[in-house]
Amino acid sequence: MQFFGGTSEVTLSPSVPSSIGTGPLGSNAYMLYLFNRNGVCLLYKEWHRPLKTLDSNQDQKLMFGLLFSLKSFTAKMDPTRVEKGNLGVPLLPGEGCSFHCFRTNTYKLSFMESPSGIKIILVTHPKSKDHRENLRYIYNLYVGNVVKNPLYVPGTAIKCELFNTSLDQYIQTSI
């Protein structure tokens, strides 16, 4: 696994067109998870996942645990930090040290955590570009369609139609 810290990654391969994935819709995105502060999985979407090793509950718990540990690990191993940072607490973007993606030879996992503890994970084709802006856009979709929706109960799984349709549209066109 390659870990990418705060600096921009250097890729030697030429820039890829936006849609080279092998998913059924031709998009790059394979899976998407959305967790809240307490580890409840608010949203799980998959577009291309032929291999399923665990049942969904365990899979989500594993993902949440992994990210929590990875964040703590990257913060502890930060060689540039002078004072001890706050571990386990969601940070403002740009503050502290938080990883944002890792890549294997078969997939790339991009991660974003908002200051309110909402974690967005996007698993895509390994040669796709940096997804930080995409994750930020997805977070804004979440705020606009879910948080501001009077009929949504916070802390429960997201089933809002508006959110789902706009998310699907965005994923298919821009990732």
Partner 1 sequence: MGREVSESCIDALITEMVSSYCNRFYVNKPEVSARRIEAIGYQVGIQLSERYTVERPRFSEHLEAIKFICKEFWSELFKKQIDNLKTNHKGTFVLQDNRFQWLTHMSINASAETTDSSQQEPHSPNSTTLDANLLQATSMHLYFPCGIIRGALSNLGIPCAVSADASNLPACSFVIRIKA
Q: What x-and-dash track marks residues 30-69 binding partner 1 by CB under 8 A?
A: --------------xxxx--------x-------------
What number of residues does the chain have?
A: 175
> Does residue 152 bind partner 1 (CB under 8 A)?
yes
> Does residue 148 bind partner 1 (CB under 8 A)?
yes
Instruction: Give the whole-angstrom CA distance, residue 109 versus residue 28.
Output: 12
> Does residue 24 bind partner 1 (CB under 8 A)?
yes
Amino acid in position 170: Y
> Does residue 79 bind partner 1 (CB under 8 A)?
no
Q: Which stretch binds partner 1 (CB under 8 A): 11-19, 60-68, 120-128, 156-164?
A: 156-164
When the beta carbons of 42 and 67 are compared against partner 1, the nearer one is 42
Instruction: Give the SS3 label for residue 44.
Output: strand
When the beta carbons of 128 and 145 are compared against partner 1, the nearer one is 145
> Does residue 162 bind partner 1 (CB under 8 A)?
yes
When the beta carbons of 84 and 148 are compared against partner 1, the nearer one is 148
**Interstrand relation of 119-124 and 108-113 (parallel, antiparallel or unpaired):** antiparallel
Q: How many CB atoms neighbour CB 30 within 10 A?
A: 22
> Does residue 168 bind partner 1 (CB under 8 A)?
yes
Instruction: Give the whole-angstrom CA distance, residue 118 versus residue 20.
Output: 29
- Judged by the rule CB under 8 A, the positions of this chain that interact with partner 1 are 24-25, 44-47, 56, 144-145, 148-152, 159-164, 168
